[in-house]
């Protein structure tokens, strides 16, 4: 099993630019989570999809953030326009129907300068 795959692993971008982070969940998993991790706030849930449908997006900080899941094997998190305070590690995670364990990707390290 390849695990949750995220890209890019590292991104440095200038303030105001659009950033798109990508995620491929584990095959067969029907729940997908986007989390953001910073030193100040720890690991925060941004959005949760179940069967490709956004169920809880209460953690999305503002309208600059959007997430999509067009099919069961792909999701994107977009930030437009990006700001320095968006600098963080963004994790995608997935979960199958049978359990409660979530499996994380290795994260996308975003730096906005």
Partner 1 sequence: SQKIEQNSEALNIQEGKTATLTCNYTNYSPAYLQWYRQDPGRGPVFLLLIRENEKEKRKERLKVTFDTTLKQSLFHITASQPADSATYLCALDRSGGSYIPTFGRGTSLIVHP
Give the binding site for partner 1 (CB under 8 A). Answer: 4, 33, 35, 41-43, 45, 48, 56, 91, 93, 100-107
Say if CB 20 and CB 80 are below 8 A apart: no
By beta-carbon proximity to partner 1, the closer residue of 31 and 81 is 31
Min separation Cβ 16 and partner 1, Å: 28
- CA max distance for the chain: 42
CB of 8 to partner 1, least distance (A): 14
13, 30, 78, 113 from 66: Cα distances, Å: 18, 20, 5, 20
Strand partners, 78: 20, 66
Please list, in sequence order, all residues whose beta carbon lies within 8 angstroms of the beta carbon of residue 68, skipping any fewer than 6 positions away. 75, 76, 78
In the bound state with partner 1, the residue whose beta carbon lies nearer, of 71 and 100, is 100
Compute the least distance from the CB of residue 81 to partner 1, in Å: 27
Least Cβ distance, residue 18 to partner 1 (angstroms):
24
Specify the residue, 5 or 81, whose C-beta has the smaller distance to partner 1.
5
């Amino acid at each position: 099993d390849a695990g949750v795959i995220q890209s890019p692993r590292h991104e440095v971008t200038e303030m105001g630019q659009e950033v798109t982070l990508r995620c491929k969940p584990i095959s067969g998993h029907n729940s997908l989570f986007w989390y953001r991790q910073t030193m100040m706030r720890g690991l925060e849930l941004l959005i949760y999809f179940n069967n490709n449908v956004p169920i809880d997006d209460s953690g999305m900080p503002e309208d600059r953030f959007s997430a999509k899941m067009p099919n069961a094997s792909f999701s994107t998190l977009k930030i437009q326009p990006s700001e320095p305070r968006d600098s963080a590690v963004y994790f995608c995670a997935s979960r199958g129907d049978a359990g409660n364990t979530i499996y994380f990707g290795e994260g996308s390290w975003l730096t906005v300068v």
